[in-house]
Amino acid sequence: EGHITVLGIETSCDETAAAVVTDGRQVRSSVVASQTELHRKYGGVVPEIASRAHIENIYPVIAEAMSQAEVGKDDIDAVAIANQPGLTIALVVGVTAAKTLSFMWGKPLVAINHLHAHLQSALLNEERIDLPAVALVVSGGHTSLYDCESPLDLTLLGSTIDDAAGEAFDKVATILKLPYPGGPSIEKLARTGDAKAIRFPRSMLGRDSLDFSFSGLKTAVLYHCRGQDMKGADRVDEMDEREIADIAASFQAAVIDVLVRKTKRAAGRIGARTVLLGGGVAANGTLREAMEAMCRRHRPPLRLLVAPKQYCTDNAVMVASLAYHKIKAGLLADLTLEPSSTG
């Protein structure tokens, strides 16, 4: 005995997710209801639509996760919810569901930071890691670098001052008229393009900065397609696939270059031995390879731990897994818990 089984719930953006995980590692079920189709025609996540879809999906998704794991309420030791950061009216749906279950079942409630959970995905299969670690979360809403002393002890070193990395992928995909969501579309097309075709700017924000800025890069892509004064015609319709692929590959290379160089800079700063990488953009194969190459060349070499691809984008396994460590540390929430857009 002594096992801890957690029901994790995630509703911070456009994915309604629930998972049952035992002892932080044994994934018993993982259910994700994606709303991609609902938001496609808007080219981005519409909060009001996301919230309503969460309300529709939340109980079926939880029921499915429990059924797939073959557990009932008596097998659940705690309910974990990502309550920050995210879209408040999306978060509130999961927070209310988790509080209700915790109250009705008489089980402890655990509050989880969504970004910290993304990093937990990189630790799912690890017994122990060499510390300190530099941790990079690259998602649709955030680009954040942390000094990681333990899965529960993260200090923010830097973050984006404008667009997040995933947001840049999504916006550039819209400029290039590629299918939503943009990240996977750009990665796919970039494979056939020349990453050196166009030298897009790499914004490093000064010698010592660990912050990020991607809006200038997005604007550079826009100028490339419309002319410097933005008065020129939108050339994208006239471009052949080869030219669009070159833009996609060159843009992707610029983003990855900045992400890798900043991670290297942070690693040097804190004397890191390990790099953790998580979040939706971490599903990008070219980023994974570039980060791996940097870690291999680094002196002393760094160990790279990346989230498995299916746990890079939003899911509830990462929530239930991190909750295990919080329970072990006695860090429980109560029924006054509220969602928070920041975090």
Binding residues for Fe cation: 114, 118, 314
Identify which of residues 187 and 246 has a Cβ nearer to ligand KG4 in the complex: 187
Binding residue for ligand KG4, selected from 8, 24, 132, 183, defined by CB under 6 A: 183
Identify which of residues 62 and 112 has a Cβ nearer to Zn ion in the complex: 112
Task: By CB under 5 A, tell whether 10 contacts Zn ion.
Answer: no
Binding residue for ligand KG4, selected from 8, 24, 158, 166, defined by CB under 6 A: 166
CA separation for the pair 167, 85 (Å, rounded): 16
Q: How many Å separate Cα 137 from the centre of its chain? A: 6
Least Å distance between CB 195 and ligand KG4?
14
CA separation for the pair 305, 121 (Å, rounded): 9
DSSP state of 161: S
Binds 183, which of Zn ion, ligand KG4, none (CB < 5 to 8 A, cut-off by type)?
ligand KG4
Binding segment (CB under 6 A) for ligand KG4, from list 65-73, 128-136, 162-170, 238-246:
162-170
Structure tokens belonging to residue 80: 């974990």
Task: By CB under 6 A, tell whether 281 contacts ligand KG4.
Answer: yes
Binding residue for Zn ion, selected from 139, 274, 284, 321, defined by CB under 5 A: 139
Task: By CB under 6 A, tell whether 193 contacts ligand KG4.
Answer: no
Identify which of residues 148 and 277 has a Cβ nearer to ligand KG4 in the complex: 277
Using CB under 5 A as the criterion, what x/- string covers residues 160-199 for binding Zn ion?
A: ----------------------------------------
Identify which of residues 102 and 143 has a Cβ nearer to ligand KG4 in the complex: 143
277: left (phi over 0), alpha (psi -120 to 50) or beta: beta
* Sequence ranges of the binding site: 114, 118, 137-141, 170, 183, 187, 284, 314
Contact indicator for 9, 41 with CB cutoff of 8 Å? no
Contacts by 142-149, CB closer than 8 A, 24 or more apart: 142/85, 142/115, 142/279, 143/212, 143/214, 143/259, 144/115, 145/210, 145/262, 145/263, 145/266, 146/119, 147/266, 147/270, 148/119, 148/274, 148/276
Binding segment (CB under 6 A) for ligand KG4, from list 52-60, 136-144, 297-305, 316-324:
136-144
| CA-to-CA separations, 112 to 88, 152, 278, 330, in angstroms, rounded | 15, 10, 16, 13
CA separation for the pair 99, 338 (Å, rounded): 10
List the one residue out of 120, 129, 112, 70 whose CA is nearest residue 278: 120
Binding residue for Zn ion, selected from 244, 314, 316, 322, defined by CB under 5 A: 314
Q: HSE on the CB side for 317, CA within 13 Å?
A: 22
Binds 132, which of Zn ion, ligand KG4, none (CB < 5 to 8 A, cut-off by type)?
none
Contact indicator for 156, 150 with CB cutoff of 8 Å? no
| CA-to-CA separations, 254 to 34, 203, 214, 320, in angstroms, rounded | 29, 9, 9, 34
The residue written with tokens 């509220």 in the block is: 338
Identify which of residues 165 and 186 has a Cβ nearer to Zn ion in the complex: 165
CB atoms within 10 A of CB 34: 16
Binding segment (CB under 5 A) for Zn ion, from list 60-68, 70-78, 132-140, 228-236:
132-140
List the one residue out of 21, 33, 167 whose CA is nearest residue 90: 33
Binding residue for ligand KG4, selected from 8, 132, 158, 181, defined by CB under 6 A: 181
Least Å distance between CB 172 and ligand KG4?
10
Binds 170, which of Zn ion, ligand KG4, none (CB < 5 to 8 A, cut-off by type)?
ligand KG4
Binding site for Zn ion (CB under 5 A): 139, 314
Binding site for ligand KG4 (CB under 6 A): 13, 139-141, 166-167, 169-170, 181-184, 187, 279-281, 283-284, 313-314
